[in-house]
Structure 1
């Protein structure tokens, strides 16, 4: 059986999500709308949680969308999103994922939004592992976590709401 070490419990996750929501508000305080785009599956669940929090604290409209990227081979595509370029043109976009590891998935998700002129694009992750192989960073992050290359981070937002190091 694989040994799992608890990194974040439900209370800490809730506090991090609250802080991340406020950071999104601060970055977009004078905007009428922000679009949260979660990377399937866990990134979208994280985006849903942030969307719920923003409803009560952001004065503008918050739109939620999902983007699918092949996480094993992002370059193999296809990258699919519920939003068309016309829908995100001149908008403020936050691309959200659960864990930033090499940066490949986040990079290909961000690339999708370069099809049209946008106002601002930022990235948000719950866990930043600092093993980037691509020139991308998390503008908003819940936690930076230094691990070995052999470690894996598991984010459970469906059941117990926990983050484990495996």
Structure 2
């Protein structure tokens, strides 16, 4: 039987997202030209939470979108394919914007590479940043997050699971 332990609970996830929100505001010198794009499924939920937090802090709504990268992945032959989810870009678009891609777990970097390719089909942002709730290491590509909730070194055989209230009925990050 596999042992599962909780490494982040609801309050810790909330604090991490609040910290990431403040870091994004500070690095962007406010919210002008800022767009958050989540990578489904949990990255999209996290992007919305970060946008809500930024809105509470700054009093301005930040555009949020969702970018499905399924068909842009370079490892489709090795992984089970899921049906693509809708890609939803903000009505403001991303041209000339500072885009913050948001994902739940940063691992090999392949999902982010696919997201960068997919993003190019939707416009030309001024810059692209990356926010991840968990950075577990083991990069295969030269990609790093600009904003990280928690660095969680792990063995390649371990599984990191992010559970979010909206989908799973609770907020938690577990490792097994």
Q: Secondary structure at the match of 2:62?
A: strand
Provide the alpha-carbon RMSD of the alignment: 2.3
The reply to whether residue 153 of structure 1 matches residue 160 of structure 2 is yes
Q: Give distance in 2, aligned partners of 1:124 and 1:109.
A: 13
Q: TM-score, normalised by structure 1?
A: 0.88
Q: Quote the offset at 1:111 in angstroms.
A: 2.2
| 1:150 to partner: Cα distance | 0.3
Per-residue deviation, residues 34-78 of structure 1 (Å, max 9, x unmatched): 11000010111111111110111236541010011229x812597
Q: How far apart are 1:83 and its partner, in Å?
A: 2.4
Name the CA distance, whole Å, in 2 between partners of 1:69 and 1:118: 17
CA contact 2:67–2:119 (8 Å) conserved in 1: no
Report whether the alignment pairs 1:163 with 2:169: no
Q: Tell me how far apart the structure 2 counterparts of residues 141 and 50 of structure 1 sit (CA, whole Å).
A: 13
Residue-by-residue CA offset, 1:81-107 (whole Å, 9 max, x unaligned): 3228x8211111000000001010011
- 8 Å contact from structure 1 (residues 32, 60) kept in 2: no
Question: What is aligned with 2:88?
Answer: 82
2:107 alignment partner, one of 94, 98, 101: 101
Q: Unaligned 5+ residue runs, structure 2?
A: none
* Unaligned ranges ≥5, structure 1: none
Matches within 5 A, 1:21-32: 21-32=21-32
- DSSP 3-state at the match of 1:117: coil
Which structure has the highest strand share of the two?
1
TM-score, normalised to structure 2, is 0.84
Matched positions, count = 164
Instruction: Determine the C-alpha separation between the residues in 2 that align with 1:31 and 1:163.
Output: 29
- Residue 38 of structure 2 contacts residue 45 of structure 2 at CA under 8 Å; is this kept in 1? yes
